[in-house]
Structure 1
Amino acid sequence: MWVALKKHWFLLALAACFSTGYFASETLQPLMAMTTLRSGIVFVVMWMMGFTLHAEAIRRSVRRPLPSLLAIGINILVVPLLCLPTQWLLPRAEFGGLYVVSLVPCTLASAAVWTRKAGGNDSIALMTTVVTNLACIVVVPVGVALVLARQADISAIEQMQKLATIVVAPLVLAQAMRYFGLAAFADRHKIRLSFLAQFGILSMVVLGSVASAGVVQQASESASRSMGITLITLALLVMAIHLAAFGIGVFSARAAGADRESQIAVGIGGSQKTLMVGLQIAIDLGVSVIPMLMYHLLQLTIDTVIAARWRAGGEESVPPEG
């Protein structure tokens, strides 16, 4: 029992934090006006995650760039295209939240870890993570302007400036600190930094759930009654999008002649999305954060199962060349 709780504490904490913020939304509502607090949390968490990234692994992937380019293309272009048809199946707020999920970059927290667990090439996952996070200052505002313009309360330029401040700047600062002599310190305290970053993410979950409660309260009574159906539909769509992106990554890498380790990395890196940035953008746009939380939970669950099967089965876990 204790082993299971220790292993899955973060997922349980996600549920607890969402419930706290949702059901205590009236009490916590003043926190939503503290935009500097939200931005500060994102900045610090992105810095802590970036501080533990090894630039050496990124340089390795540059020597063979095709798998990384495939993963980056899937993460930036394919996932949003997979998401677009869901606008005819979901209410406006939930579709907006799911589309935000599709635009945000690959997660700093787990892509390389899950790739490594599956026996894949983690340098490709790291390259995908870094490039998509840097590119998000363009990808997110452009994607929002093209599809969610009516729901966006801030301009594309404002979004670019904000993302540059809270995503790109802390990553650049973190890598500069590693370059100028603090790499050993970061590696020595990697577990502590990751642990603290997770608490930052949980605090954003509380704020996101407060925002979601406001969206739900604005819905009509009939819409509220259909929320159960909406959540089931959303969960099925999230799984379908993640698995489709994962499969496209694996088979496109195979078609390009990449080895098994690269196929795994492209599948994971191309399909995973970051919770931290997604929550911030969803809150800013006033769309539901539930899709972001659901995608994060399901991607960890699905990829854990897939990684375990790949690790256990070795070459046999990847379908044979056709």
Structure 2
Amino acid sequence: MGALVSLLPARATVAVVLGLMALSLDTRQILRAFARPTPVALALVISFGILPFAGWALGNWLLQEDLRIGLQVATSVPCTMAAAIIWTRMGGGNEAVALLITLLTSGLSWMTTTAWLTCTTAAEVKLDAGELMLTLVLTLIVPVGLGQLLRAPASLRGLADRWKPALSVLAQLLVLVIILQAVVLASRSVGSSLQAQLGQLALVSALCLAIHLLGLGAGYYGGFVLGLPADERIAAAIAGSQKTLPVSLVLITSYFSAFPLAVVPILVYHIGQLVLDSLVIECWARQRGAG
């Protein structure tokens, strides 16, 4: 299976996934979300401020530099695109706000992710900031821009809307391939020394879950302090705390290949956010029902 999933290069796969997702995004929803900037700003502070800072601060508890780097990468990348919108919808949140958050984090990542990684991993690896920025632009901004550009003609927009379910399924299948790539890399990295590394692996797993919960709480309760309605708090909480595994994997394989265990935190964070968010939105749904 490892040889099979390795046939698809990570960068190209991520670019195709983002292009397909952008092709199916309704631009009118994005424009409507600009009228509600507060939850978007809150999510950006969480995604590119609170979470990467927590990854750096709590990463000092880890003895292995591989795991420290992996945790920093996992917390410094932009928001997921499909998952954040789906989970926001499931939780009764504002999808338009979640959509704008995902697009803005992707659009700003070339600058913010580069800044965090060059500052926090300088002791372990020398990063070329310009090259890293270019990688993020080509992987994130160009595919999303092309996807939205293809929607400009009415005929193509109608075709994309009619085929939206198929495009979403194809994108999710490619995401599954990326997840399998991460699983294969993680299994190779851990290898036969699992028992010796068990304590550190357990610790980094706990840190991933704690940081994600921190982001969820900051979005939901921070939004409450700011006077946001429940649907916008949910969007800020989910889109502000979720992180994209595909982009993390691109960065790990392209710039941190000398640290094989770095793939473990990005995989744990991704799986953890899906499980935790599923549980949390159930609680929110029960609260709304009780209210």
Partner of 2:198: 228
- Once the two structures are superposed, residues 42-80 of structure 1 have per-residue CA deviations (whole angstroms, 9 ceiling, x without a partner) of 211111111122221111111121111111111111101
| Distance in 2 separating the partners of 1:205 and 1:132 | 21
Relative to structure 1, is the Cα distance of residues 74 and 30 closer, same or farther in structure 2, using a 3 angstrom cutoff? closer
Q: Are the counterparts in 2 of residues 68 and 266 from structure 1 also a CA contact under 8 Å?
A: yes
Partner of 1:199: 173
Partner of 1:158: 131
Relative to structure 1, is the Cα distance of residues 154 and 208 closer, same or farther in structure 2, using a 3 angstrom cutoff? farther
Partner of 2:235: 265
Letter in 2 for 1:68: V
| Distance in 2 separating the partners of 1:150 and 1:194 | 40
| Distance in 1 separating the partners of 2:150 and 2:102 | 19
- SS where residue 152 of structure 2 aligns? helix
Q: How many residues matched? A: 285
Partner of 1:243: 213
Relative to structure 1, is the Cα distance of residues 214 and 152 closer, same or farther in structure 2, using a 3 angstrom cutoff? farther
Residue 153 of structure 1 deviates from its aligned partner by: 5.6
Partner of 2:87: 114
Letter in 2 for 1:85: A
Matched, 1:50 2:18: no
Letter in 1 for 2:99: L
- SS where residue 237 of structure 1 aligns? helix
| Distance in 2 separating the partners of 1:230 and 1:306 | 27
Q: TM-score, normalised by structure 2?
A: 0.90
| Distance in 2 separating the partners of 1:280 and 1:304 | 26
| Distance in 2 separating the partners of 1:205 and 1:112 | 19
Partner of 1:256: 226
Q: Are the counterparts in 2 of residues 211 and 283 from structure 1 also a CA contact under 8 Å?
A: no
Residue 136 of structure 1 deviates from its aligned partner by: 0.8
- SS where residue 142 of structure 1 aligns? helix
Relative to structure 1, is the Cα distance of residues 191 and 153 closer, same or farther in structure 2, using a 3 angstrom cutoff? farther
Partner of 1:17: none
| Distance in 1 separating the partners of 2:5 and 2:38 | 48
| Distance in 2 separating the partners of 1:315 and 1:249 | 21
- Which of 36, 53, 59 is matched with 1:87 structurally? 59
| Distance in 2 separating the partners of 1:84 and 1:153 | 17
| Distance in 2 separating the partners of 1:148 and 1:172 | 30
Q: Are the counterparts in 2 of residues 144 and 152 from structure 1 also a CA contact under 8 Å?
A: no
Q: Are the counterparts in 2 of residues 278 and 292 from structure 1 also a CA contact under 8 Å?
A: yes
Relative to structure 1, is the Cα distance of residues 191 and 236 closer, same or farther in structure 2, using a 3 angstrom cutoff? same
Letter in 1 for 2:195: R
Matched, 1:40 2:21: no
Relative to structure 1, is the Cα distance of residues 150 and 192 closer, same or farther in structure 2, using a 3 angstrom cutoff? farther
Of residues 274-283 and 168-177 in structure 1, the stretch that sits farther from structure 2 once superposed is 274-283
Letter in 2 for 1:201: V
Partner of 1:175: 148
Residue 162 of structure 1 deviates from its aligned partner by: 1.1
Matched, 1:297 2:271: yes
| Distance in 2 separating the partners of 1:52 and 1:145 | 34
Partner of 2:99: 126
Letter in 1 for 2:77: V
Residue 209 of structure 1 deviates from its aligned partner by: 4.2
Unaligned runs of 5+ in 2: none
- Which of 306, 315, 318 is matched with 2:280 structurally? 306
- SS where residue 110 of structure 1 aligns? helix
Q: Are the counterparts in 1 of residues 20 and 147 from structure 2 also a CA contact under 8 Å?
A: yes
